[in-house]
Structure 1
Amino acid sequence: MPLLQIEDDGFRLDGVPFRILSGGLHYFRVHPDLWADRLHKARLMGLNTVETYVPWNLHQPRPDEFRTDDGLDLGRFLDLAAAEGLHVLLRPGPYICAEWEGGGLPSWLLADPSMRLRSRHPRFLAAVDDYFSRLLPPLHDRLATRGGPVLAVQVENEYGAYGDDTAYLEHLADSLRRHGVDVPLFTCDQPADLERGALPGVLTTANFGSRSAAHLATLRTARPAGPLLCTEFWIGWFDRWGGNHVVRGAEQASQELDELLATGASVNFYMFHGGTNFGFMNGANDKHTYRPTVTSYDYDAPLDEAGDPTEKFAAFREVIAKYAPVPEELPPARAPKFSLEAVRLTESIGLLDAAPVLGDAVAARRPLTMEELGQDYGFVLYETELPDAGPALLEPEQVRDRAQVFLDGQPVGVLEREGHEHALTFAVPRPGAVLTVLVENQGRVNYGEAIHDRKGLPGRVLFNGSPLEGWTSRPLPLTALEDLAFGTGAATPTGPAFHRGTFDADRPADTFLHLDGWRKGSVWVNGFALGRYWSRGPQRSLYVPGPVLRRGANEIVVLELHAPGREREVAFRAVPDLGPVED
């Protein structure tokens, strides 16, 4: 592979003028069996490069464990990009934002109560250096200096929106170099934050989604010489629960792209293909009100969540063709989908009954956070006995993020962080009644100072004004459900319960799961965690990658936190429903 050179008048590739035409494609948001398809379609739109973040929290789930298997085989993804003739911009963090759980930072960092993320806190820097030492050496052969596809590597991510500690960025750059990165480095920031997030001797790039000429002029003022690159050209946006589905018209977006390319600048679309926040990996924002991101990361991108070209794909391809050659080949308009109505989930088990096989309870004076329990995602089940009968006022100091409260197994209310709810009243029938609190981590904050987002019930819990003590905290990560003892009783369980069904598929094709009438929960198909659903919307279906299905018998398990849909039925349909549109 040629080497990228940064010159006063622009990029060169082995001495030849070069424009980066790139698109965001996060390998960890796409089923690995579909990587080659998505990369091929990137080239067919006219791209010569793809960009990906690296999620530290998935690769290093524990300090002594590092994963590069299956969907985390970054080396294989880079090799597939190279085989497709694509270059790569690599963005390893340590912080990535990306509307991803915790901005990609591992939850175990927050087990240290003094931890200051994205800073020169000694234990944070030591953890980052260890992460780079595990991630980077196996990737050396994928760097352009050794014939690989990786042209350049990013230092941190939009740091100027968070801080201005140049010494912190210098440490990260030095660590990247120490661990073998010998291709150009770059930073990216929004135009107003360029100087705060810049690093001497490192290429400065900008992020924006409109007014290209004006924003590039700001970048040129900050850096009078060197290439112009928009590292995140926002051509869509993400959705949050309780909002609308955000779209950006193809005509407007393509006009903005034309304006950008007319300046001679390079570009990376954010996103070319968004993919999915599978499992529990969506992030959240908290600008005085907590707002979790939905499961779909469709992003209104040129390639939709199922990898099908959209109107934007054709419009962008047409604009790119004005400035660079594009392949004659076009991708198929839409791949065939699997459909099956009325799949009945006939077996069930209550979550409170199943809890002992899902996690071991830990006794402590107060409720323990997920991080103290060594838990990353999912739920925590807290229990204690109440000392008195009569009217009760329950006041958790913090709810992170949604608590369902039960008394002797019966629901008495819900407290939501999003609604700033911290108090619940109910009547206690007897001394010694069992208080149970099921707390869901709805996604750690991925942007701003609120990334120090510990989950569960941090702080004290007051009962009629006095601290409640003597708790058990049971982690429920829900990473393995095979030991659940499902039953086939005629009555539908109320409250949190797992529901299981089977269905036959004639082929392993992509599809969309619709849970009409169901309220809130998570879904697994053949053990693969699809993600969360919520009747609050806007998202009303879940993407099921074709490789997850098997020809013949398949299993679906739904954890419904409240009440299942009529007849406990779900449907697989050929089209998604991402909700009402907000332009």
Structure 2
Amino acid sequence: GEDKGYVSQIRDIVRANFGNDIALFQCDWASNFTLNGLDDLIWTMNFGTGANVDQQFAKLKQLRPNSPLMCSEFWSGWFDKWGANHETRPAADMIKGIDDMLSRGISFSLYMTHGGTNWGHWAGANSPGFAPDVTSYDYDAPISESGQTTPKYWALREAMAKYMDGEKQAKVPALIKPISIPAFRFTEMAPLFQNLPAAKKDENIRTMEEYNQGFGSILYRTILPELKSPATLTVNDAHDYAQVFVDGKYIGKLDRRNGEKQLVLPACVKGSRLDILVEAMGRINFGRAIKDFKGITKNVELSMDINGYPFVCNLKNWEVFNIEDTYEFYQGMKFQPIESLTDRLGQRIPGVYRAKFQVKKPSDTFLNFETWGKGLVYVNGYALGRIWEIGPQQTLYVPGCWLKKGENEIVVFDIVGPKEAKSEGLSEPLLDQLLVQKPLTHRNEGENLNLSGEKPVFTGSFKPGNGWQEVKFNKPVTGRYVCIEALNSQDGKDLACIAEMYFLDKDGSRLSREPWIVKYADSEGVAHVNRSADKTFDLQESTYWSTEKGSPYPHTIVIDLGASHAVTGFQCLPRMESEVPGGIKDFKIYVKGENFKY
């Protein structure tokens, strides 16, 4: 943000409630902290492992040479999102950053020392785009999600000891020993479509919030006209994961993470029933998209061909079923023995599954959901969080204090249905088991960007070093698709990296990045880390796009801006490290109204 008036109001609210004797500080990026910095507050910086500490504080020391220096959020790890690799950060990089700061008399706050858990619905999502967080907030922190010490923790203690003037460190408390729970099977279930709440009737589509529903799922139902041939269904927009059924038969899904809005309905008779089941995931944490309504946010359209003429119908007259996610709601459903569903053997049935399991001596454990689909879990009435078969998280942490000696109950609402309704308690979590069908890269097999015949709108070179750099075009260029072609690097090596980038509009202001989609990237380092091309506009200066090692220049990224704009310039931020690995030197920029050729 760039709004000192807003920050001033926050300051005034805090002062009014806590008085003038409390020291207030504000934390921000080293690259732009003056845009929000208030004269009467202490300024601190945010950055993560591997950052160039001197460069991060250079501007602050210049403006306020006598100011105390502090890294207010020193990221020792990162959060995980569904459908991506489990995030880790090397302990050695964390220790080096701490040494660099403490040896210079700089304070820091470790983010995170201990991660934790996003219980129930508390996992949020990142934007631009839509990147929902998993339930675990383990964060690769020195103290794990369940409170266990890690090798990173012991390395941290050793590093801190050097700056304690001989003072003895506190003893580590006794750790809770996790338990295993033998495998058990679920014995009963309540099919969702047979246990719907009372319907509301509405001519037009409305969001969850407009029905006073905060979390869970919502089912929209209407009657279809006759479809003599397949027709295209467009949902504008499903927040966040929609499944489409016709007369109870599953047709397909629409996943907001992938920008999916359309699928094809088969031919059907007049009066066929259309069901759209939408699950709400995490709301966006920050940025322009923070007002994140759930359900279907606009409308549903049906596009068909009638006697050779295209026809678009805005579907109306809906029945709406609010499936609020609460333990009490699920317990009120009509359960039946799973064995009674023999006529649907092998099918994945959406609904609520229930089981009992035995515990000899309660302690922490990690319930395994590798064979399940997508949904939410309760143990003894406590909301553990979300599960999703795509990973990387496959287990849920259960605190021992929530378990009972003897019989315990587990309830799982699975909107997809399990492959096998079973679970077990593990003594260690499964946080790094990614099972996705969609490639993690933005390049289809055999696809190669063809820039022959394309004329760049700008050719230039970046200066070496850290910090934002900006180029202005000779004249505005109108287009929807932009391509950055990196020709070589500052250090002569193959690697290319960008932490953040913006394009400028006709007034020289930054274009909103909310609608941006990566259409192509020639190389992305996603084998064991998350350095995909969408990291160039994720509002996080410490994450970055990186090409794979050994992949030669030139390197290219193509972005769909979401609409046509008059583009006048480009801003780019390289990585934070002092050596600026992958810093781009010479480059070209292309702008087109239509997509590039591949």
TM score, norm. by length of structure 1: 0.68
Q: Counterparts of 1:389-400 in structure 2 under 5 Å?
A: 389-390=227-228, 391-400=230-239
1:457 and 2:304 matched: no
Q: Does 1:170 align with 2:8?
A: yes
Instruction: After TM superposition, list the pairs within 5 Å mapping 1:153-164 onto structure 2.
Output: 162=1, 164=2
> Residue 310 of structure 1: which of 145, 150, 171 is its match?
150
Separation of aligned partners in 2, 1:205 and 1:217? 12
1:515 paired to 2:369:
yes
Amino acid at match of 2:399: P
What amino acid is the match of 1:367? I
Pairing 1:437–2:292 present: no
1:526 corresponds to which of 377, 380, 386: 380
Aligned 1:97-246 pairs, distance under 5 A: 162=1, 164-182=2-20, 183-209=22-48, 210-246=51-87
Gaps of 5+ in 2: 304-311, 434-527, 531-598
Q: Determine if contact 2:349/2:418 at 8 Å carries over to the other structure.
A: no
Greater CA drift, 333-342 or 555-564: 333-342
**Secondary structure class of the residue paired with 1:503:** strand
Q: Give the corresponding residue for 2:113.
A: 272
Paired position in structure 1 for 2:333: 484
Q: Residue 593 of structure 2 aligns with which residue? A: none
Q: Counterpart in 1 of 2:398?
A: 544
Provide the secondary structure at the position in 1 that maps to 2:35.
helix
1:496 to 350, 354, 376: 350
Work out whether residues 242 and 278 of structure 2, in 8 Å CA contact, stay in contact via their aligned partners in 1: yes
CA positional deviation for 1:246: 1.3
Output the amino acid matched with 1:459: K
Residue 314 of structure 2 is matched in structure 1 by 467
The 2-side partners of 1:375 and 1:219 are apart by 46
Alignment partners' CA distance in 2, 1:370 and 1:222? 48
Shift of 1:307: 0.4
Deviation at 1:327, TM superposition (A): 4.8
* 8 A Cα contact 1:189 1:207, kept in partner: yes
Instruction: Output the CA distance in 2 between the equivalents of 1:469 and 1:327.
Output: 71
Q: After the TM superposition, which parts of structure 1 deviate over 6 Å for at least 4 consecutive aligned residues?
A: none
Partner in structure 2 of residue 582 of structure 1: 529
Partner SS state of residue 322, structure 2: strand
> 1:377 Cα deviation (Å)?
1.7
3-state SS of paired residue (2:112): strand
Q: Report which of the two has the higher share of helix.
A: 1
RMSD over aligned CA atoms reads 1.9
Which residue is 2:422 aligned to?
Answer: 569
Q: Please tell me whether the aligned partners of residues 308 and 333 of structure 1 are also in contact (alpha carbons under 8 angstroms).
A: no
Q: By how many angstroms is 1:387 displaced?
A: 2.7
Q: Which runs of 5+ in 1 are unaligned?
A: 1-161
* Equivalent residue in structure 2 for 1:369, among 199, 203, 207: 207
Alpha-carbon distance in 2 for matches of 1:460, 1:520: 25
Larger of the two Rg values belongs to structure: 2
* Deviation string, structure 1 residues 533-565 (Cα, Å, up to 9, x no partner): 222111121111111111221101112222313
Match of 2:187 in 1: 346
Cα distance in structure 2, aligned partners of 1:541 and 1:218:
44
SS of the residue 2:113 aligns to? strand
The structural deviation recorded for 1:181 is 4.3
Could you tell me whether the CA contact under 8 Å between 1:369 and 1:455 is conserved in 2?
A: yes
- CA distance in 1 between counterparts of 2:179 and 2:375 reads 23
Deviation at 1:329, TM superposition (A): 4.0
Does residue 554 in structure 1 map to residue 408 in structure 2? yes
Query: In the alignment, does 2:268 pair up with 1:321?
Result: no
Instruction: Tell me if structure 2 keeps the 8 A contact 1:517–1:564.
Output: yes
Question: How far, CA to CA, are the matches of 2:422 and 2:381 in structure 1?
Answer: 19
Contact 1:523 1:532 in 2 (8 A): yes
- Whole-Å Cα distance in 2 between the matches of residues 333 and 472 of structure 1? 55
Q: Report the secondary structure of 2:266's partner residue.
A: strand
Q: Which residue of 2 aligns with 1:36?
A: none
State which of 263, 266, 270 in structure 2 corresponds to 1:427: 266
For residues 276-302 of structure 1, the C-alpha deviation after alignment (integer angstroms, 9 at most, x for no partner) is 111122111232x32211111101111
Q: 503-512 or 327-336: which moved more? A: 327-336
Confirm or deny that 1:388 pairs with 2:245: no
TM-score for the superposition, normalised by structure 2: 0.67
Percent of matched pairs sharing the same residue? 39
Q: Distance in 1 between matches of 2:168 and 2:357?
A: 41
| Alpha-carbon contact 1:397-1:458 (below 8 Å) kept | yes
> Given the superposition, is the C-alpha separation of residues 416 and 167 from structure 1 closer, same or farther in structure 2, using an over 3 Å criterion?
same
Greater strand percent: which structure? 2
Quote the Cα distance in structure 2 between the aligned partners of 1:510 and 1:430. 54
Alpha-carbon separation, structure 2, partners of 1:531 and 1:243:
18
* 2:396 partner letter: L
Report the CA distance between 1:467 and its aligned residue. 0.5
Letter in 2 for 1:400: H
Hey, what's the Cα distance between the residues in 2 that align with 1:260 and 1:462?
Answer: 57
Q: Provide the rounded CA distance (Å) in 1 between the counterparts of 2:293 and 2:249.
A: 27
User: Structure 2 CA distance, aligned partners of 1:295 and 1:243?
Assistant: 14
Compute the displacement of 1:261 (Å): 1.0
In the TM superposition, what is the alpha-carbon distance from 1:334 to its structure 2 partner?
Answer: 4.5
